[in-house]
Structure 1
């Protein structure tokens, strides 16, 4: 509250109630009558009055009044008692001096400091004229409240009592003072401001209003005096900080409204007064800029929260100017403190010391960092913790308990959610307490939707979490919250089937904050790790991108460590986690085999279908295409029998991929085209790569193999655009490594392949995708080898897996080194078919430099040609035909060579452009020259 100064000069006279204290003359007057006080008592009164609104400790007072002396404890109490008696403070009626237990004493009555010139000084005992004292100076400007101000100006002529209600620090007093300053000239008798903040008793409120009006009760009751004096007046009265004396403030407001209609009242409070004729205006936080990297400084400064931060930071450090470089941190800061003006001011005060980014980094402990050293503010406004202590102490024990328990929620929550978490002990009073907390501005309510939603501001939640740490029910509450969050994840999984991806993400994003909080507890000291494992293994967590890659990996590793330490886990959950930590590529198959066994034994078709699906995908990744095909067919049978339509659609896609890899391209193409891209996989089958991406890559590859090279390249480019829009890092990696890069290298478009390899390498490194980094390095080495700077690429040098080895042969042919032997063995065993024709051709090419190898090479070329024709793979057929034609030409049988090659080139036409067609045309020209 402090001492309110007149605008000019010194203040030798302090006025409070009917008293005047002359500082220079060391005299106290009650009206015209001097009040007898001893010297020590008078000095004590001066210290307390000059620090009105602050708490002066016992030690401070003793050092000031008795400097250098040792004072007995009873001495100060004696002088305080004498002061209270002289001022008329009786038991339970501390209108002037309040004892603050454990801290000291405070002068709690409003004090006005007046400047008196020499002529008036001689008659200082004369009472100043009655009338409202000047409004306190506003320390901060009103930003972003123009619409609210306009609304208040429109309301007052119609509604004589308007209460501005809001969270502590939201700017209620600033707004009320600004309103009074703008309107006071429109009232014949001006505006009067009454701060109730440090009043400790209801009986002090009429005295505070009388003191603010300069009225002295003279044998007349204070209320009677106020009613008589105010009745003919036209005045605006502001009652500030009513919440702790709400009933008395309501009584006074209603009393003022019963006077002739010349008195208008504006009140500020954490909760409505519930007075007759009251109009409540709820004040929310300042609007914050969106978290948008594309936001410019000019656009961001249109938001009042950022305007306030910038202006207060500049006021605290003249050299500071908010620039584009600091903008992301400044936006984050405003959002982290929820746009609460007082919190923004506290944060701005730290910018000069820490910088904007430094303040953001320190915001983990918002209640410690955000504090003000200004002595002109109320004690409870000097830190956020003090501000919230004030609000908390005004709550009933039940309200305090419900506030603590609701702090478990991050973001909006429903009444049903609150009842699920608080448990049976508080369920009976939950609704009434929650509504009371809304009324008292500690909880915000959104009733715009079909169900009411509640939310705590970040600073309130941080405070309540601190209180919750001391609650013996904390672990039981956290466990119920974790189970509730698990239920939310189940709801997200069900919603996956009905919402499009953007709508689903918007819905599921509300779960992420609660999920993080639940995981922090579950894997922290005293948490339930089994619950943490279930949360991390939920399909919505592993399959839908709710977390970034690194955060997800951290949680998955924590869950696997818990399982390794003996925490019981469902085999399906364990299998999901093992696959997630392997990047969803191959992983350990044993957990999935256990999951298959458990699902079959337990009659769980959805779990069985999921386990079979992942095993099929893992087999594809390991190059075990027949096993993949069998798992896919098994999955389709399970889905059909259980009536799982979406699962069945996914199961029918998998054979298309396995058939393609086995070399049955026409059958694969028919299956791929039969399945519409719009069929969305269930969440547990969504996987890290979108089904449309896999289907598109399969089509691009198959079209090249069938001799449609130009169309394959166009499809691959379109697929890259689709994968970039998909947003899943693995989708783009898959498209680059298994779609676009193979097509580019098969066509001999090394410039495009080099560009794609660089893109894949950068993408994989940014997202920590080690497996796909290997593909990028392999592609770069292939390009080096094809440029002639490397003779072979040894298989052992890279530790290639089967799938990479198969592709390597199709890119380097006979130069694939040991990779060619491994691929030939797989083809001979029937494990792979899509590249068999090229493997046999490359094996023949490797033989040719040797003496007498022509017949063996010819047999391999013909074997490859037969395999290509059986598969309808015209691209491989062309390569085999080129090798055979060269062999026959060199043997002197050019006519036979031309007869083999020419019909094939004509059949393919220019739709199969690229290096192979160019090589075939050159060979045909050479054959024609030889024939002539």
Structure 2
């Protein structure tokens, strides 16, 4: 939220007097008695927490500043914000805030807190809240089949996590930190209801991307800049376990993020692994000890040795490597014990040694290890910690024992950032097709020798190097002669993989979708990083960036989309590129900017350039996608004439090329355009025609971030239905469309649907129902840092608050939202300006109210979104009538104009609202007969919606008119029946 919006929230005025008791959800707060009940039973709250709750409830819907709360609750004591956060956290826990969909308190970053629950002054219950977006399943690596010597450690760490919430497992490389962390995650999986997320920082090269990696893993829309605020908003009310693995090489940024999340998300638990502690507030360190080894005892037996975890691991690993050491003999027990001691109980080192012990006898293994370790005392090793020396020497020894093909493959697969498939290994580690067999054999051998780890993933097997082994192999690759060639093959492999998505002949079935390769995000980023580095391949980088754009958009990682699109575009002039790359890069950049930055000049320039290129090369699908995006751009900026022209252009292109789905999309765009132009009949014809052509549920078509045209069509139809006098069908259609969009689970599409449906609920005076939607819009937009939608969300909340009588707060939010949206070049924003003008009129700000509505009328006249003009004319009449010296003549003129225009637009609902206001005015002037003649024929044209506020108000007014003139009541009833028959 921008500074102007923040000022608007802070400037919200004080509410009027409040009652002594409030009900929300299953709670009842008795202010005078200082008592909180849940389902009639008292809830024990501390005095400070109760004071906080009362202060927030009495100012419900208003952001209460931290300083104000501190002054209110701690009147005679000087405390810091930490005390406030602790009390708020306790209050949330007592209310079950965030559990089972319940939401009562929200935090406005940098400002204060706000009570957002539905309040009533009786025992009535809240309406069911909107269901939260379903959480994805956990992403933990597979649980280790057998973990030796760590069961109690896992139990201890799990217990400490429950009580302390923030634990870091510290230990040297290869000691087994990740294995323990993953096991603890599985141990706690049920307790956290599956909300456990694993983040591997081992392959991350840029520390600045730590927060972005966390954000994308948690499903946040990644954008340019630091997403830490969005992460806090997302996690503040969630009970979740985050496992941050391999923090040591990004320790500054990972430590800062972990500290902030721990402080500001009171239900979040964090388990980190690192070779050193993070050294931040709240962290509890668990130093992972090496596996215990037996003492140097000449009489050591096999039974005694196997009581030690280090020996157990050695024997088990040697046996699974296919060697002769299936059982440990007494003769070998002392030798194995000596190896484990020599390796300092480091699990990885023991596994490496055991894998080689299977190939010969134990005495040979001891001799080889002695040769490897005799170099540890040499200069250059003395500054290294002993256990790090041990692991390094073991890796050196293991590497030397590999065959040359195995060494080559190990070096080359170290280029992968994260997991990879066998197909990827063959493409990157081989030099030509004839090497396939050797690569496959080498991979299998490296798995057997503990240099690679294999795990099942869906229909395929994924391989990875442990963090320590990968660092070692990368060193070997860097000093080899094929480092750049390997990086180039790595980039080319992912270029071909991305280009082959959707073409089953070029990729394996299990990889034939962007979702299926989501775990390759790190590899694609690494490939792009190399391509645009000093030693990289710019031409391959441009092609790879263009191919990656749909992938980034599909995953909603808009920061990556913008970053790599810009880098590639900068290099277009220096390389021999094709126009298609230029087209794809500008199209994706324009869309990413439109969604995150709004209607800027950069967006229009990118989309316009891309459309020109699409026309030049005859790329019809791209033309239609870009016309759709430019249509949305023009709609948002209020250029409705240009938007209509674009929709007609798109319809012609789609029709000429026989693209049935895209033709339906263009007809929806035409329907939206005609609807906003005020032609409801033509608009409905286009939308209903399109709905007949669309499938029951749309897939991606060709666009990975295709607008949800099915929901857009349904909500547009709902708006038209309301205007034409079918309010029940309109509300039902809109609610079903929103529910369908929620099931899709995409925040941008949900924000679009909530925004587009907003007017229906406002027109129907259903702001109570829409309040939940407004809160959800704010939540989704703030969580994903969608600035334009967040601003609009606060505007919708302002409309809701005005309708609920919280006028000053609503005015502040509306003013702030309009100021920001005007700076972003949004259109007329008629709904917001109408609500603001009416609110200003109620508090006596007559001039500003008239200026506001006149500005809206002028903008609508200029932009040609004439559908809302009847409402604007009616609203101006209402402002004139609310003045200290009402201008009855002018008000009557505007109401008549509103009625006439609504009739021309076939907008029966707007005609009824304006007719009701004019009839009420005429009644005040003693013109009851004229009022009845005006209102009755309009009312009887309705066939539904008789419980809506507009129809109830009209019915009550007709009853009043009839009761005042009983002699004419029979005539009125006959007129109503006659009108009904003609209707």
Please report the TM-score for the alignment, with normalisation by the length of structure 2. Answer: 0.55
- Structure 2 residue 594 is the aligned partner of structure 1 residue 614: no
Q: Counterpart in 2 of 1:433?
A: 439
Q: Counterpart in 2 of 1:560?
A: 566
Aligned equivalents of 2:404, 2:627: Cα separation in 1: 54
Q: Counterpart in 2 of 1:781?
A: 798
Q: Counterpart in 1 of 2:586?
A: 574
Q: 738, 762, 766: which one pairs with 1:749?
A: 766
Deviations 1:746-788 (A, max 9, x none): 2223333333322222221111111111112112322344427
Q: 630, 635, 641: which one pairs with 2:656?
A: 641
* Kept in 2: contact 1:609–1:638 (CA 8 A): yes
- Structure 2 residue 832 is the aligned partner of structure 1 residue 808: yes
Aligned equivalents of 2:157, 2:819: Cα separation in 1: 59
Deviations 1:216-254 (A, max 9, x none): xxxxxxxxxxxxxxxxxxxxxxxxxxxxxxxxxxxxxxx
Distance 1:749 1:319, change over 3 A: closer
Aligned equivalents of 1:308, 1:804: Cα separation in 2: 68
Aligned equivalents of 1:308, 1:581: Cα separation in 2: 52
Q: Counterpart in 1 of 2:951?
A: 917
Q: Counterpart in 2 of 1:630?
A: 645
Q: In structure 1, the residue corresponding to 2:922 is in which secondary structure?
A: helix
Q: What is the CA distance between 1:629 and its match in structure 2?
A: 2.4
Distance 1:640 1:390, change over 3 A: farther
Distance 1:614 1:404, change over 3 A: same
Q: What is the CA distance between 1:507 and its match in structure 2?
A: 2.1
- Structure 2 residue 463 is the aligned partner of structure 1 residue 455: yes
* Kept in 1: contact 2:510–2:516 (CA 8 A): no
Aligned equivalents of 1:735, 1:856: Cα separation in 2: 38
Q: Counterpart in 2 of 1:656?
A: 671
Q: 491, 507, 513: which one pairs with 2:516?
A: 507
Aligned equivalents of 1:776, 1:292: Cα separation in 2: 23
Q: What is the CA distance between 1:546 and its match in structure 2?
A: 1.9
Distance 1:842 1:869, change over 3 A: same
Q: Counterpart in 2 of 1:361?
A: 247
Aligned equivalents of 1:611, 1:477: Cα separation in 2: 37
Q: Counterpart in 2 of 1:602?
A: 617
Distance 1:484 1:922, change over 3 A: same
1:89-488 equivalence runs, <5 A? 304=145, 309-312=150-153, 321=159, 324=162, 344=179, 361-362=247-248, 372=290, 376-379=340-343, 380-381=349-350, 385-410=392-417, 417-418=424-425, 420-422=427-429, 424=431, 428-441=434-447, 442=451, 455-459=463-467, 460-488=469-497
* Kept in 2: contact 1:660–1:702 (CA 8 A): yes
Q: What is the CA distance between 1:835 and its match in structure 2?
A: 1.0
When Rg is computed on C-alpha atoms for both structures, the one with the higher figure is 1
Q: What is the CA distance between 1:671 and its match in structure 2?
A: 2.9
Distance 1:755 1:357, change over 3 A: closer
Q: Counterpart in 2 of 1:586?
A: 599
Deviations 1:546-566 (A, max 9, x none): 255xxx325524643664688
* Kept in 2: contact 1:796–1:818 (CA 8 A): no
Q: What is the CA distance between 1:533 and its match in structure 2?
A: 5.8
* Kept in 2: contact 1:662–1:831 (CA 8 A): yes
Aligned equivalents of 2:509, 2:715: Cα separation in 1: 23
Distance 1:877 1:347, change over 3 A: closer
Q: Counterpart in 2 of 1:267?
A: none
* Unmatched tracts of structure 2, length 5 or more: 1-133, 185-240, 252-272, 277-287, 294-339, 344-348, 351-386, 575-580, 842-848, 967-983
Aligned equivalents of 1:659, 1:508: Cα separation in 2: 41
Aligned equivalents of 2:760, 2:509: Cα separation in 1: 32
Aligned equivalents of 1:502, 1:479: Cα separation in 2: 21
- Structure 2 residue 912 is the aligned partner of structure 1 residue 884: no
1:26-45 equivalence runs, <5 A? none
Distance 1:293 1:490, change over 3 A: closer
Q: Counterpart in 1 of 2:907?
A: 873
Distance 1:906 1:481, change over 3 A: same
Q: In structure 1, the residue corresponding to 2:867 is in which secondary structure?
A: coil
* Kept in 2: contact 1:421–1:484 (CA 8 A): yes
Q: Counterpart in 2 of 1:199?
A: none
Q: In structure 1, the residue corresponding to 2:940 is in which secondary structure?
A: helix
* Kept in 2: contact 1:808–1:819 (CA 8 A): no
The size of the alignment, in residue pairs, is 622
Distance 1:304 1:826, change over 3 A: same
- Structure 2 residue 874 is the aligned partner of structure 1 residue 841: yes
Q: What is the CA distance between 1:683 and its match in structure 2?
A: 5.4
* Kept in 2: contact 1:488–1:511 (CA 8 A): no
Q: What is the CA distance between 1:524 and its match in structure 2?
A: 5.3
Distance 1:655 1:377, change over 3 A: farther
Distance 1:647 1:466, change over 3 A: farther
Aligned equivalents of 1:304, 1:292: Cα separation in 2: 27
Q: In structure 1, the residue corresponding to 2:865 is in which secondary structure?
A: coil
Aligned equivalents of 1:500, 1:421: Cα separation in 2: 20
- Structure 2 residue 894 is the aligned partner of structure 1 residue 860: yes
* Unmatched tracts of structure 1, length 5 or more: 1-290, 350-354
Q: Counterpart in 1 of 2:942?
A: 908
Aligned equivalents of 1:301, 1:574: Cα separation in 2: 40
Aligned equivalents of 1:853, 1:501: Cα separation in 2: 72
RMSD: 4.7
Aligned equivalents of 1:878, 1:373: Cα separation in 2: 81
Aligned equivalents of 1:917, 1:435: Cα separation in 2: 78
Q: Counterpart in 1 of 2:855?
A: 822
Q: What is the CA distance between 1:394 and its match in structure 2?
A: 2.2
Q: What is the CA distance between 1:813 and its match in structure 2?
A: 6.2
Q: Counterpart in 2 of 1:282?
A: none
* Kept in 2: contact 1:810–1:835 (CA 8 A): no
Which has the larger displacement, 803-812 or 611-620?
803-812
Aligned equivalents of 1:767, 1:738: Cα separation in 2: 19
Q: What is the CA distance between 1:308 and its match in structure 2?
A: 5.9
1:23-102 equivalence runs, <5 A? none
Aligned equivalents of 1:881, 1:308: Cα separation in 2: 82
Q: What is the CA distance between 1:432 and its match in structure 2?
A: 1.6
Distance 1:293 1:679, change over 3 A: closer
* Kept in 2: contact 1:329–1:357 (CA 8 A): no
* Kept in 1: contact 2:549–2:588 (CA 8 A): no
Please report the TM-score for the alignment, with normalisation by the length of structure 1. Answer: 0.57
Q: In structure 2, the residue corresponding to 1:907 is in which secondary structure?
A: coil
Q: Counterpart in 2 of 1:489?
A: 498
Aligned equivalents of 1:726, 1:810: Cα separation in 2: 33
Deviations 1:127-156 (A, max 9, x none): xxxxxxxxxxxxxxxxxxxxxxxxxxxxxx
Aligned equivalents of 1:853, 1:505: Cα separation in 2: 63
* Kept in 2: contact 1:666–1:872 (CA 8 A): yes
Aligned equivalents of 1:308, 1:680: Cα separation in 2: 52
Deviations 1:802-849 (A, max 9, x none): 446222245456556544223322443462122122122223334445
Q: In structure 1, the residue corresponding to 2:698 is in which secondary structure?
A: coil
Distance 1:715 1:679, change over 3 A: closer
Q: Counterpart in 2 of 1:732?
A: 750
Which has the larger displacement, 384-393 or 534-543?
534-543
Aligned equivalents of 2:750, 2:166: Cα separation in 1: 28
